[in-house]
Structure 1
C-alpha cells in the first residue's frame, strides 16, 4: 500500500468572503486505508472544509491534492478519485433507486458486471431490495439517505468524503454503514467522516481532527489527543467537550 497521503490539505484558508475566512491555515492528511473523524461544533468549518475538497469553493490560500493531483491541474483525475455523501439527500424525484445507482456507476466508469454485483450487495446490506424500482419521491428521508450512500459506494474511488451520514438512518442502517466502511477501509480506501455522534465513531476512526472556529485545535488518535491535553482516560465525547470549552 502506498505511503503517500490520498488527501493532503496544506495551509488552507477560505470561506464565503475574502474579508471573513471561515478556515484558518488548516493542514491535514488522510492516508490510504485510514478513516479520519472530522469533528467540531456547528459552524466550526467542517462542511466548509468538505466543500473545498469537492471543489465547490476555491481556497483563499493553501492547496488541496487528492492522490497527488490538484483540481486545477487535473480536474478529471481529481474528481474521479473521490466520492461524496452529503448531510441531506439530494435525489431526482422522477428517477428510481436503481436508476440513481446506475447513473452514478456510469459516471464513474464502473463496469456493468461490477455495477450489478455491487448494487445487489448494497441493496441487501441496506435492506432496500424491495425499493430498487421505487421513485425517490416516494421514499422516506432515511431511505433517501440510504440511496445517497449506495450511490457513493457503488464506485470504488480512493477517497470517500462523508458528511453526517447517520442522520435519518435507523440503528440497523447505521450498523450496516459502519461495517461497510470498515470493509472498504480494509481494502485500502480512505474515508474522511464528519459526525456529531461521537460515541458512535469513537471505536471506528483511526484518528480524529478537531476543528474549532475554523482552526485545528487537536488531531491524532484518541490516546494521543488525551495525552497532549493532559486528560487521560476520557471518552472522545468527554475529551471533545474539554477541548472546545477552552481546556488544554
Structure 2
C-alpha cells in the first residue's frame, strides 16, 4: 500500500505541499482531486520519484526510494496525463522495454499485454510507431504498459482525457480487475461524476494541504449536506478555500 506521512515538498525552496498525509490501501481506488495548482501533480511527482521530499516520507509496502529504490520503483506503475513514448520504438518494442525494465517473466507478461491490447483494440498495431497513433491511442499504449506490470501501486493522472467512451469503460473495467487482485490505485481526475461512481475514497487537496479525506459519505458529513454529489461538495469546499485566500 501507499503511505504518505507529513510530506513537505515542491520544486524550489518554497514548499508546495505542506504536511500531506494519506494512505491508499490494497484493493482500493482513491481519487486525488482539487483545483488546478492545489498540489495534485506535485504529489504525484513525489510519489514516482521525480521530486525529493523536503521532509516527511513516502512508502510503498514499507519500501522508500531512499532505503530500497529498486523494490520501490518495481512496485509502482504510472500512467501520465500526457503520453510519453519513444518516437523510434514500435508498440511491440515499448511493451518489451516495459518487460525488461520491470524484470517481468516474458511469457506471462506478453499474455497480459495481449489481453490488454485486445481490450483496447491495439492488437493489430504492434509494429506501428508513435507517429502513427492518435492522442487517444497513445494514452491506451501508456495504460497497457502500466497495467501489464505486476506493480502493487498504480498512479494514474487524468486518465480520461483523450479516451473515447468505450475506452473509458474498458479502463474502468481493468481498474476493477486490478483492485480485485489487491492493487492499490491512486487516480487524479477532474471527471468527478465518474470518480464518484468508482472511487472508494477521496483526497481533496487545496493550497498544498489535505482539505478533506474519506468516502463520499465522509465528505457529505464534512460539508453538512447529506445526499450531495461529489461535484457539489467539491465546489463548496474549493470555493471556500478560494474565498479564504
Q: Which residue of 2 aligns with 1:16?
A: 11
- Within the alignment, does 1:59 sit opposite 2:68 as a pair? no
- The Cα of 1:172 is off from its aligned counterpart by 0.6
* Matches of 2:73 and 2:110, distance apart in 1: 23
2:109 counterpart residue number: 115
Q: Any gaps of 5 or more consecutive residues in structure 1?
A: 1-5
Residue 9 of structure 1 aligns to a residue whose secondary structure is: strand
In 2: Cα distance, 1:183 partner to 1:119 partner: 14
Q: Whole-Å Cα distance in 1 between the matches of residues 52 and 126 of structure 2?
A: 37
Partners of 1:33 and 1:185 within 8 A in 2:
yes
1:38 to 22, 25, 32: 32
Aligned to 1:151: 145
SS of the equivalent of 1:144 reads helix
What 5-or-longer segments of structure 2 have no aligned partner? none
Residue 138 (structure 2) pairs with residue 177 (structure 1): no
Note the C-alpha offset of 1:166.
Answer: 1.0
Which has the larger displacement, 204-213 or 109-118? 109-118
> What aligned pairs does 1:1-248 form with structure 2 within 5 A after superposition?
6-18=1-13, 20-246=14-240
CA deviation profile, 1:138-186 (whole Å, cap 9, x unmatched): 1111101111111001101110011011111111111100110011101
Task: Specify the SS of the correspondent of 2:190.
Answer: coil
Q: Deviations over 1:180-223 (max 9, x none)?
A: 00111011001000001011121111100000111110010001
Distance 1:203 1:166 in 2: 14
Q: Please state how far the C-alpha of 1:130 moved relative to its aligned partner.
A: 2.0
TM value normalised by structure 2: 0.96
Deviation at residue 116 of structure 1 after TM alignment: 2.0
Kept in 2: contact 1:102–1:115 (CA 8 A): no
